[in-house]
Structure 1
C-alpha cells in the first residue's frame, strides 16, 4: 500500500472511474467527462456526470437542483470537482454551502482534467439545465499553465488537452495506422525525431494567460444574461503556498516523486516567481474585461498553519484543505 493511500484510504474511491488510468467516458465536443449516475461513499454524480454538492441534509447538482429559483456556481477543473475529498460533503462547493449564510446553493461545476476550453464548453453545453445563476466563481488556472509546455500547443487554436496521446492512439489520423501494441508503439517512437523543446517558462505563462483570458471574456458574456457576478480565482499549488508542507504532505510528495511525479515534469512551475508573473498577467487581463481576480496562493499562505495537512498532492486538497479554502473564497468574492 502506498503512503498516500495509507494516509487517505478513501482515494480508492476515485481510482476506477475518476483518474487518467481508470475508465474514461469519451464524449463528443467535451472529449471526456465523469461517469453518469455514479454511486459510492466517496463520489456521487448526477444523470449527466456532475458531482453532487451537499447543502444541509440534501444533495444538489446541475441536473438535480430541485425547484431552486437561483443558484451559485463554482466552476473549474479537478480541484473544484473534489479529487482528494473523502466524500461529496467535503468538496469546495459543499464547504462553501456550510459557511455561506446566503440562501442560494453552490453547485459543483468542476470537470476533472479540464482546460479552460473544456470548462467554457461545459458551461455552454449544460447551462440550459440551470435556473437563474446569481454568482459564478472560476477556481482554475493550473491546467492551462501545465499544458502550455506541451509542444503541440503551437498547432492548436484553443490549447491542447490532457489524454492527448491516448486520444491519438484511439483515433489516429487516417494516414496513420493505429498502434497494434505497446512494444510497436515504443519502437515507433524511438525511430521518430527527438521531441521538440518545450517553450520557455515565460512563453508558457503568456500563452496560458492569453488563453485563459480569452475564455474568461466568454464566461463574462454568458454570465451577463443573468447579470451574474463573476470572479476568477487563480488556484493554489502547494509550492506556491509554502516552501515545505506538513509531515503528511512531505511524505506524499516524496513518494509521488519516486514514482515519477509532479516536480520531475513541472518543476519550474512550482516556483513562486511563476505564480507572481502568471497572476500579474491574469489580474491585468481580468481588470481590462471587468472581472474580479484573486491570486489565491498568497491568501492561503497567510492563513495556512505550517503543520496542517492541506494538500493530498501538489494540486489537490484534503478535507481540511477544502474547508480552509472554501472559507477564504467566501471572504474574497
Structure 2
C-alpha cells in the first residue's frame, strides 16, 4: 500500500469520478463540469453538478437551497470544490458555515480544474439559480499561474485551460493538432515549440488575466449588493518550505507518480507568491474589492507538525477546518 492510499484513502473517490480519468461531463461554454446527482460517502452533487455543503444536519447546494434565505458564495476551483475532504461536511464551504457566527450558509461554487474564465462563466450560467447573496469570496489564483507557462498560441486571449489537449484533439483540424502537440511536449518534457515565459512574465500574465475577469465579478457583486473578496489560495510551498511528516511523504510519492515539482517548480516558492500577490493586490484594491493573501497568514499560525495538505494544493479535513477558521478571522 502506497503512502497516499494509506494516509488519504478518500482520494480514490475523487479519482474515480472527479479526476481527468473519471466522469468528466463535456459541456458547451464551460468545457467540462462534475457529474450530476452523484451520491457517495465522500462526494455528493446536485442536479447541475455542484457539491453539497453540510452543517449541523442540514445540506444545501447551488441548485438545492432555500431561495428565500440569503447566503454567502464561496467560488473558485478544485480547492473550493473540496478535493481532499473525506466527506461533504469537511469542505471549506461546510466548515465556513459551521463556524460563521453570522449564521448564513456558504454555498459551494467550486469547479474542479477551472481557470478564471471558467469560474466567471459558471457564475454567468447559474446566477439565476442563486438565492440573495450577501458576500462572495473568490478563493482562487493558482490555476491561472500554473497555466501561464503554456505556449502563447494555446493560451490565446482568454487563457489556457486544463484538458485542452483533449479538446484540441477532438476538433481534429490541422491547426488544433499542432496545438495538441505543443501542449503534450510541454508537459511530457520533450522538445518545446517555444520556450516557456520567465517567472516574471508568467506572474504578469496570470495577474492581468485574473484581474480582467475580476472586473466582471466586481460588477456582478455590485449588482447583487454583495461584498466581494479575492483570496489568493495557499500552496504548500507558499506557506512553508517543509511540510509535516505526512505532507513530505505524500509529496515525495506524488512526485514519483507525476511531475508536479518539475513542471511547476519555479512558481512553488514564497518569492513567487509574494510577487503574484503584490500584482493582484494592486488591481483588486483599485476595483474597491478586498484582497487577502492567505499563505503568510497560515504560516504565522500553523504548527510545524500540523498536517494541512493532501497534496500541494488541496487540504485534509482538519486543513479545511483550520483554513476556514483563519479566513473567518479576517472576513
TM-score w.r.t. length of structure 2? 0.94
- By how many angstroms is 1:227 displaced? 1.0
Q: Distance in 1 between matches of 2:141 and 2:110?
A: 13
- Where does residue 312 of structure 1 map in the other structure? 310
- Where does residue 197 of structure 1 map in the other structure? 195
SS at 1:75 equivalent: strand
Shift in alpha-carbon separation, 1:193–1:140, aligned structure 2, 3 A: closer
SS at 2:54 equivalent: strand
Q: Distance in 2 between matches of 1:175 and 1:303?
A: 50
- Where does residue 257 of structure 1 map in the other structure? 255
- Where does residue 290 of structure 2 map in the other structure? 292
In the TM superposition, 1:31-180 aligns within 5 A as 31-152=31-152, 156-173=156-173
SS at 1:244 equivalent: coil
- By how many angstroms is 1:175 displaced? 6.6
Q: Distance in 2 between matches of 1:193 and 1:8?
A: 35
- By how many angstroms is 1:131 displaced? 1.3
Contact 1:309 1:321 in 2 (8 A): yes
Contact 1:76 1:109 in 2 (8 A): yes
Contact 1:153 1:159 in 2 (8 A): no
- By how many angstroms is 1:194 displaced? 4.1
- By how many angstroms is 1:67 displaced? 4.1
Contact 2:71 2:132 in 1 (8 A): yes
Q: Distance in 2 between matches of 1:169 and 1:126?
A: 29
Q: Distance in 2 between matches of 1:15 and 1:144?
A: 22
- By how many angstroms is 1:195 displaced? 2.6
Contact 2:148 2:155 in 1 (8 A): no
Shift in alpha-carbon separation, 1:173–1:300, aligned structure 2, 3 A: same
SS at 1:315 equivalent: coil
Could you report, residue by residue, the CA deviation over 1:21-57 in whole angstroms, capped at 9, with x for unpaired residues?
2221100000000000000000000000000001221
- Where does residue 25 of structure 1 map in the other structure? 25
Contact 2:67 2:130 in 1 (8 A): no
- Where does residue 181 of structure 1 map in the other structure? none
- Where does residue 233 of structure 2 map in the other structure? 235
Q: Distance in 1 between matches of 2:67 and 2:226?
A: 19
- By how many angstroms is 1:212 displaced? 0.5
Aligned-residue CA RMSD in angstroms?
A: 2.0
Which runs of at least 4 in structure 1 moved beyond 4 Å after TM superposition?
174-178
- Structure 2, unaligned runs of 5 or more: 179-183
- By how many angstroms is 1:168 displaced? 1.4
Contact 1:153 1:160 in 2 (8 A): no
Q: Distance in 2 between matches of 1:177 and 1:70?
A: 47
Q: Distance in 1 between matches of 2:324 and 2:191?
A: 47
The count of corresponding residues between Structure 1 and Structure 2 is 324
Q: Distance in 1 between matches of 2:24 and 2:7?
A: 26
- By how many angstroms is 1:69 displaced? 2.2
Contact 1:63 1:130 in 2 (8 A): yes
Contact 2:46 2:63 in 1 (8 A): yes
- Structure 1, unaligned runs of 5 or more: 179-185
Shift in alpha-carbon separation, 1:211–1:99, aligned structure 2, 3 A: same
Q: Distance in 2 between matches of 1:223 and 1:138?
A: 11
